[in-house]
Each structure stands twice: as C-alpha cells, then as structure tokens.
Amino acid sequence: MTRRVVAQGTFDLIHPGHVHYLSEAAAMGDELHVIVARRENVTHKEPPILPDRQRRDVVDALDVVSEAHLGHREDIFVPIERIDPDVIVLGHDQHHDADAIRDALAARGIDCAVDRASAREPRYEEELLSTGRIIDRIVASRADEGDA
C-alpha cells in the first residue's frame, strides 16, 4: 500500500529551508504531494512575488516531489480530500495550529496524521533560509547599487 504525504506552503523563491522541509516530508512516505498556496489565500504574511503557476511548476520539478498542486481558492481541504493522504507534514515554522487541523480533518471524516518537520539551521553565517530575508537582501543590494 502506498503511503501518501502532503506538504504545503507558499514556496516563493525556493531556498534550502524549503528543500529540507520537502525532503523530510518525502522521507515519511512513498509519494509526496505538495499544495502550493494561491496568492490570494496568503494573508498571514506578505503575498508571494512569483505567480501561482510558476511556484507550483518549480516545486513540481524537485525530485522529491511526486506531484505539486495549487491550493483551492475557497476551501483548503478540497485538495486534501482529493489526494487522501496518510500524513500532512507542516513546516517547522508554519503558522498552522496542528490540533485545529486535526479537528477539521476529523470533522470532515478525513483520517490522516498531522506531523511537523524539523528546523534546518543555517550551515554558514550568510546562508538565508527565509524568502523574506532573501527579498530584503535583494532590495538592499539593488538600493546600494543605485547609490553608486
């Protein structure tokens, strides 16, 4: 029997933290399905820079990913119902409440575990594991070039 795993996120500007999260999630099963959040559904932080389809296509190109999907516009559980995972793996720093997700899954009759991936520490001082920090560095670097 195939063990299906779901990971989800925004995945704007893929960085080593994303690779760690998806690799760890993939190791928990036989298939890794990744749900990429639609821009209009990202309300807990700045919206992604890259278009939905581009972010999905980049995630789908990663070797550890079996299939990447765009999230549903109104109901985040629609793709979960379609994929029928055995486990949902949350990123170590994602804002989601694992217990609330478990309750919502149970209310819908979806039987799957909810787990959380471990953190990946930077491997060297200047390594960036945050899309926001990468964007900040780009903006600052471009601003410095404009001053020259």
Handedness of CA 18, 51, 114, 83 (dihedral sign): negative
Cross-strand bridge partners of residue 33: 6, 67
Residues tagged in the binding site annotation: 10-11, 15-18, 93
Residues tagged in the binding site annotation for ATP: 10-11, 15-18, 93
Judge residue 24's burial from the number of C-beta atoms within 10 Å of its C-beta, 0-12 exposed, 13-18 middle, 19 or more buried.
Answer: buried
Under 8 Å between Cβ of 148 and 121: no
Reference 55, options 15, 82, 115; nearest CA is 15
